[in-house]
Structure 1
């Protein structure tokens, strides 16, 4: 099992992403798609990538975090109880990460989610559960990343501490740093934060040899 090779194509990303790369790499590296709605984790199995199944048997995990009493729920368990616990169930928090409370996108989201979005002491947008406890978007993202980390560790049978994490191409410096902070909170050394369409373009050629690639232009569209 060569999980570490999952980062190989990602490391071809261009120089502008060097700020989001860590030079300290020892051991396995996993690839994580931290999505707005769903997240997933992959490793290299031989010379092919494999998206791993979670404990429920699915390859994608809802990017949902909930607090019920003293219990923290992540993924499908959190999503299932969302209707009965709306004020303490956080979804689509990726839309808030690295944004200021006064951002027009945040003001729009405030009107469309059942949980509270508040102004933190430094002016960033945070969330607050039904018991008044506050969380930064990076903290909520970290809970999802922990779930991805756990999925990979269950599959590999050993601890994992390194990851490549994707983000939307439109993310600014603050949003990229907040994504990396989420990884740090989750106990991961984020080697690189990679644009999602860049990862898709690189993945297209990951299983092809030079001779099998036809002279053509490939269009990658992020929907």
Structure 2
């Protein structure tokens, strides 16, 4: 899988602010460039990461982030977390069925055969739940910059297939963002550590996240990152 040229992430022909978003299984964060350095923005609670949790109260109020996480114990069936594990997956996927046995909320089958979730008798696609988290990231960036952000780059695991990547892009669109690029998480990590400055090398990137533990082998040549191999272990909830 050939990935982006490092010069491509500058998006020279675009106008306005572009944020980078890590839509994680457990936590998410948003960053902007300040000069040549990326700054991870603090949310309204003063934290640089926001729990990827969405909850619906008995009165129909939607909570996102820490407020949703705080009430999870008393409202488990309507508190949705780790839905990134379901994004772009079919209901009959063995991993979906395994998650169905472990999650306190309902995982249901959409009419298309995709895995959806249910809260307060309302069905949502994983992309919609991801969009609620992305909206929170957008609000954080808007507040920090003092203006509306409309463009974003979102990272995804290297093992994501086309359906999962498209579902992530759909989440961004629902959140009101023009997703300029979907970047593999190990590539983003390599860029953050300046690995693009060293030509003709092969590197290993380990990613221990909330939902998976994976390793990717990247080959860097001519400013282009190429995933030579990736292996993933799905972690229990």
- Matching residue of 1:147: 136
- The structure that is helix-richer by fraction is 1
CA RMSD of aligned residues (A): 2.5
Provide the C-alpha distance between the structure 1 equivalents of 2:110 and 2:179, rounded to a whole number of angstroms.
25
- Matching residue of 1:191: 180
Contact 1:117–1:125, Cα closer than 8 Å, also in 2:
yes
Greater relative contact order (CA < 8 Å, ≥ 6 in sequence): 1
Unaligned regions of 5+ residues in structure 1, if any?
1-9, 16-21
Contact 1:61–1:75, Cα closer than 8 Å, also in 2:
yes
- Matching residue of 1:62: 51
- Matching residue of 2:205: 220
What per-residue deviation string (whole Å, max 9, x for no partner) do you get for residues 146-194 of structure 1? 0000000100000000000000111000000000000000000000111
Q: Secondary structure at the match of 1:163?
A: strand
Alignment of 1:42-121 (within 5 A): 42-68=31-57, 69-121=59-111
* CA 1:23–1:137: 2 relative to 1, 3 Å: farther
Q: Which of 14, 22, 30 in structure 2 is aligned with 1:41?
A: 30
Provide the C-alpha distance between the structure 1 equivalents of 2:66 and 2:131, rounded to a whole number of angstroms.
16
Provide the C-alpha distance between the structure 2 equivalents of 1:165 and 1:23, rounded to a whole number of angstroms.
18
- Matching residue of 2:232: none
Unaligned regions of 5+ residues in structure 2, if any?
209-237
Q: TM-score, normalized by length of structure 2?
A: 0.80
Q: Secondary structure at the match of 1:221?
A: strand
Q: TM-score, normalized by length of structure 1?
A: 0.85
Cα offset, 1:56, TM superposition: 0.2
Provide the C-alpha distance between the structure 2 equivalents of 1:90 and 1:13, rounded to a whole number of angstroms.
35
Cα offset, 1:217, TM superposition: 6.0
- The structure that is strand-richer by fraction is 2
Contact 1:153–1:160, Cα closer than 8 Å, also in 2:
yes
Cα offset, 1:218, TM superposition: 4.5
Provide the C-alpha distance between the structure 2 equivalents of 1:195 and 1:49, rounded to a whole number of angstroms.
17
Contact 1:25–1:191, Cα closer than 8 Å, also in 2:
no
